[in-house]
Chain A
Amino acid sequence: MEELTYNEKRLMVVLNTVSEAEPAVIAGELNTTEEAVVQFAHLCADKGIATLERTVRVDYGLTDEGKQYSTLGLPERQVYASFEGEIPMKDLQAHPLARIAVGWMKKKGWIAIEKGMVKKTGDAPEGDDERALRDPAAGGDGINELIRRGLIEERESVSYRIAITPQGKQLVADGLDLREEVGALTREQIISGAWKDLNLRRYSVGKLPKKVWPGKVHPYQHLIDEMRQILLEMGFEEMQGSIIQSSFWNFDALFQPQDHPAREMQDTFFLAEEADLPDGWEAVRDVHEHGGTTSSAGWGGVWNQDKARQNVLRTHTTGLSIQHLTKNPEPPVKAFCIGRVYRREAIDPTHTPEFEQLEGIVMDDGVSFRHLMGFLKEFYARMGFENVRFRPGYFPYTEPSVEPEVWVDGLGWVELGGAGIFREEVTAPWGISTPVLAWGLGVSRVAMLRMGLSDLRQLYRSDIDWIKEYPAYTGGRN
C-alpha cells in the first residue's frame, strides 16, 4: 500500500478511537475543516482503510425575499389587509407592494376590478402557499408555487459518515509515524541537520506534472545536422554559397543544353539582374558547340552568352560543386553542401518551390563508378538505410549515372537521389582531368520518410505544437 500522508495518519488515529463519526466531529479533533476531513477520508477509503458514506438530502429554505414575507405575509395578503370593502385602484397603487399584489389578488379571486374600483369578492382564506411560507420544512402543496415565485429554494445538503475498516484498525495497531509533515525543504533545515528528522511530504508519482516546453532546434534542422555530421565524419569539407547563381554556373557549366526544358521560365525562377561570365567561359562555349577538347560531339548549334548571363534562384547546389572544383583543382577534394534550392512549382502537400538538397562530390585519382556506389552505400547505411540498390539513371551532367534506391518497410524500393561521374564536358573546360564522383539527394524526401510526414509544408510553415511535441532525440541513426 502507498504510504499515508501525515493528515491521513491523523485521521486514522481519531477514527481508531471513535470508529465512526461525522466530518464535523473529526474536524474538531484534527483542528481542520470538514472539507479537508472528507478529502483525507477519500484517500483513506481508496486505500481500503476507511469508508466514506455520502448522503444527499434535499430541503427547502426561504430566499431573502421569502424571509421578508414569512412574518408579514405575502404581498397580496398585506395589500388585501390594507383596505376594507372597496378602494379606487389609483389609491391602492399608492401601496408599495401593489404592483406585485394586484395581479395575485385577482388570480386568487380575492378581488374584482370594475371601473377603476377594486372590490373584495368575499373572504380570502389562507392558501397552501401561505401555509408553506410559514413552515417550508413541512413541504406541502404550496412549495412549488413559492419556488416559482423565487421565495423558496431547494437546497441539497450532503452529509458524510466516516468509519474505520478492520484493515484500518490493523494499520493503526501496527503503529504510525506521527511526525508533522513538511512541504518545502529550507536552507536552515539542510545546514542545521534538522532535515534528518523531517517528515517531508510525499508526492504522488502517479500524478503527471504540468507540461513545460524547452526552447529547441527544429526537427528538420536535426535531420540536416545528422546528414552533415555523417559527411563530416566521412571526411567531407562543407561548401556554402549564394542562392543567386548565374545560368552559366547553374546550367551551362554543367553541360545542360541551352534549350533544355529546365531552363525555361516555367521551371526556373529567373531574376532580372545579369551576371558577368567568369574567366574561362570560352571553354564551356566550345564544349557545348562541338565538344571542345573532349571526345564529345557537343550539343551543336551556337552557344548564347546572353542566356548564360541570366541570374536564377539556384535550381540545385551542383553549381556550387563545379565552382568549388575550379577553385580547388588539386585532388583529393571531398566536399558537400546542404542548401535551399528553388523550382518553379506551386505549393501543395508534396511540392514546395524551395527545398533542401544535399550534394556531395569526390575528386580523386583512381576513383571510379564502383567507388561512387561505395560512397552511396556507406552514406545511406549511416542514414539507417541498410538495403540499397542501384539502377541506371540520367542526369545531363553525369555519365555514367545511377539512381540509388533504398528499401523502406511498407513502401518497398524508394528512389532516393541521383548520382554519377561528372561528364568530361563538365570538368575538361576547367582543366580537371581527375574523375569527379557526384551525388545529390532531396533532403525533404528523407524528412518525409524519417518523420512520417505526409505534407512537406509542415517543414516550412510549421505548426508550433508539432515542433513542441516532436522529440529532440529520435534514436539518431542506426
Chain B
Amino acid sequence: MPIIHLPYTYLEELTGTDRDTIIERLPMIGADIERFEDNQTDVEFFPDRPDLFSTEGVARAMRGFLGIETGCPAYTVKPSGVTFSIDPKLEGIRPFLGSAVIRNVSLNNERIETLMGLQEALHWAVGRGRGKVAIGVHDMDTVTAPFSYIASPRDRSFIPLDFEEEMTLDEIMQRHPKGIDYAHIVDGFDLMPLIADAKDNVLSFPPIINGELTTVTEDTKNILLDCTGTDERAVMTAVNIICTALAEAGATIESVEVNGAPMPSLAPRTRRVSVDECVRLLGIDLDAGTMAALLAKMRIGADPAGEGFLDVTIPCYRADIMHDWDVFEDVAIAYGFDNFNAELPASFTIGSEHPVNVMAGAVRRIVAGLGFVEMMPFTLTSERVLFGNMQREPAKGALRVMHPISEEQTTVRTDILPLLMETLQINHHRELPQRIFATGDVVEGRETFQKIAAVSIHTDADFSEIYATADALLRELGLAYTVEESTDPAFIDGRRGDIIVDGKKVGVFGEISPAVILNFELDQPVAALELDLRVLWT
C-alpha cells in the first residue's frame, strides 16, 4: 500500500485544528500510522479509499470526523471552453479519456510532490499499475486548445519528460525508463495513444510518459488533467479524486468538453437507504436523525425520505461506496468502533470436530506414544525431494504450480516421507537417535487427502524396528493388515514391505536405501514408514 506523507503545517492549515487532535483520531478512520517524522507523519490507508491518498483528502475527512465541517462537500465547476476530441481508432486500445481544467493552483515543491504522490498512489490503487487508468497533469499555459486524444503511428516523435532530444514512440518504449516499465500495456497494438494540442504539440503518450513541454513547475498556474484508460468508471474516479483534492487546496475546477460532453461534474451521487437495515446490520440503536448526523461526519449528506429512509448524498470522490452497506460502514465508523457494545448472540449451537481432524488427533497420539516427535513440514516442495532423491518415478497426479518462486517449491507433495527425510537432513548435526513423524494433507490430481509418515535414524535403525512401529500403528488404528514384499525403490530390496488392507496397498515400510540416505546427505541407517489414511474412510 502506498505511504501517504502528511506535512503537519499543511495538514493543520487545511483541517483547522492542531496536529495532536488530528493524529489521535486518525487511526479511527482507518489510517495505519507508519511513523512520525519531524515535519510530517507517514500513514497508510486501505486501497478502497484512494480519496484519502492526499493531505487534502485526509484533511477533508478529518474536518468531518472532528465535527469542524460536516456534510457532503459541494464543488462548483464552470465551463472552461476547452474541447477534447477522441479518435475512434482508440476503441479497443485505450478508449476512455477523462479531463478537467484546474485554474489558479498555487504550487511549491512540497505541493508538487504531494500531487505526484497522489498520482502514483492512484496509479497503484485505481489504475492497477497504469493499465486500467493512467494520469497526466500538464502546465496548460504551454499548449493551445483544442486538444485531441489520438491513435498515432509508432514513428511519431516528441521530447519525453526528463529527456532533451526527440524520440519516437518506439524508442521511448525501448529506452525511456518509464517506457521500459510500462510498454507492456500498449505494446501489442499498431497504433499508440497520444495527446496533442491544436498546434500538434505532444502533451502525453499515455500510459507511459508526458512530454517535456508541459512539465508542471512552481510557476504553473493552470493545469490540464488527462486520465486515460480502459475502464470508464475508474477513469472518472481518478479525475474526481484529483480535481476535488486540488479544489480543497484552493484551485478552481473547470469542465472540458470531451467529444461534446462536459466533464467533470463533481456532483454527488444519491442513494436511498433504510435506517432499519442499518440498525439491523450494525446492532446499534439509531433513528434517522442520528444516522444522518453520523453520516454528515463522514462527509455524506443525508435527508429524511419518510418512513425510515434516508436519501444520502455521496461525494463524487467516494468510489468505494457501491452498496447500501458501504454507507452503513461509514455510520459505524462515525459512531466509533470503540462505542459498540460487543456481545455474543443468544442462539445455541453445538460444536463438532471434523472427522479428518479426529483421525489426525488419534494418529498423533499413537505415533507420539511410540516415541516419535512430530514435525510440520511444508506441503509445497520440489520434484527433486519428492521423487528424484527418493529414486521414485514421479507420481502421475503430482500438481506443479505454474510460476514457482524457487526451485525448492514447485510441486504440491504427494507423500510426506520425503519431507521427513529433508527434515532429517536439516537436523543432521543433532544427536541421534532421531525419531520423527508428520501427518497432514497431500494432493494427487484434484484430491486432497491425508497421510502419515514416520522415520527413525540411528546406528541400529532397521526393518524390525519399523515393522514393529507399523504394526503398533495399524493395530491401534484397528486395521487388519497383511504385508507383502515391496518393490519401492526408496527402500532396500529384501528389507521392505507393502502394507495391504482389504487386498489394497495402503502403505510401505522398511529400511531406506543407502543411495537415498546419501541423496539427503545423511550417513546413518534410516527406517521409515508411510500410510495412506484414506484406508480409514472405507
Contacts and interface: CB of A to CB of B under 8 A. Distances in A.
Interface in B340-378: 340-345, 347-354, 356-357, 361, 364-365, 367-378
A243 B441 contact: yes
A155 interface: no
Contact of A354 (B337, B356, B380): B380
Contacts of B431: 465
Contact of B353 (A232, A235, A369, A374): A232
Contacts of A393: 30, 46
B406 interface: yes
B7 interface: no
A232 B352 contact: yes
A215 B434 CA distance: 10
Interface string B367-402: 111111111111110000000000000000001111
B153 interface: no
B132 interface: yes
B283 A215 contact: no
Nearest to B424: A464
Interface in A263-298: 265, 269-273, 275, 291, 294-298
B283 A371 contact: yes
A405 to B, nearest CB: 9
A461 interface: yes
Contacts of A352: 378
A464 B351 contact: no
Contacts of A391: 27-28, 30, 337
A371 B344 contact: yes
B48 interface: yes
B323 A231 contact: no
Contact of B284 (A217, A270, A370, A378): A370
A238 B354 contact: yes
B474 interface: no
B325 A269 contact: no
Interface stretch (A122-130, A188-196, A339-347): A339-347
B515 interface: no
The bracket for how many chain B residues form the interface is 35 or more
Given A270-B402, A272-B400, A425-B323, A228 B353 contact: yes
A354 B340 contact: no
A79 interface: no
Contact of A235 (B350, B373, B434): B350
A300 B235 CA distance: 13
Contacts of A401: 329
B376 A270 contact: no
A334 B352 CA distance: 10
B333 interface: yes
B215 interface: no
Given A373-B340, A373-B342, A400 B373 contact: no
Interface in B189-220: none
B109 interface: no
A332 B283 contact: no
Contact of A423 (B283, B323, B357, B441): B323
B341 A370 contact: yes
A93 B500 CA distance: 81
Interface string A230-245: 0111111111111110
Interface residues of A, number: 92
Contacts of B533: none
A215 B378 contact: no
B340 A467 contact: no
A3 B404 CA distance: 69
Given A221-B364, A228-B357, A368 B328 contact: no
Interface in B473-515: none
A300 B323 CA distance: 13
B13 interface: no
A390 interface: yes
A334 B427 contact: no
Contact of A218 (B29, B376, B405): B376
A272 B356 CA distance: 28
Q: Among B47, B356, B373, find the residue whose CB has the most chain A CB atoms closer than 10 A.
A: B373
A186 B530 CA distance: 42
Contacts of A368: 280-284
Contacts of B134: none
Nearest to B232: A300
Interface string A382-423: 000000011111100001111000000000000000000101
A273 B349 contact: no
Contacts of A238: 351-354, 357
B469 to A, nearest CB: 11
Given A218-B375, A237-B352, A270-B402, A353 B380 contact: yes
A297 B402 CA distance: 34
Given A368-B283, A394-B48, A399 B231 contact: no
Given A269-B403, A399-B323, A400-B325, A460 B376 contact: yes
Contact of B281 (A392, A435, A465): A435
Interface in A180-238: 213-218, 220-221, 225, 228, 231-238
A243 B411 CA distance: 13
A342 B364 contact: no
A273 B445 CA distance: 9
Given A390-B340, A392-B46, A394-B46, 7 more contacts: A238-B353, A269-B404, A334-B349, A345-B405, A374-B342, A392-B29, A464-B434
Interface of A: 213-218, 220-221, 225, 228, 231-244, 259, 261, 265, 269-273, 275, 291, 294-298, 300-301, 313, 332, 334, 340, 342, 344-347, 352-354, 362, 364-371, 373-378, 389-394, 399-402, 421, 423-425, 435, 459-465, 467-468
9 contacts: A240-B357, A243-B441, A269-B380, A269-B404, A275-B446, A298-B322, A301-B231, A374-B343, A461-B378
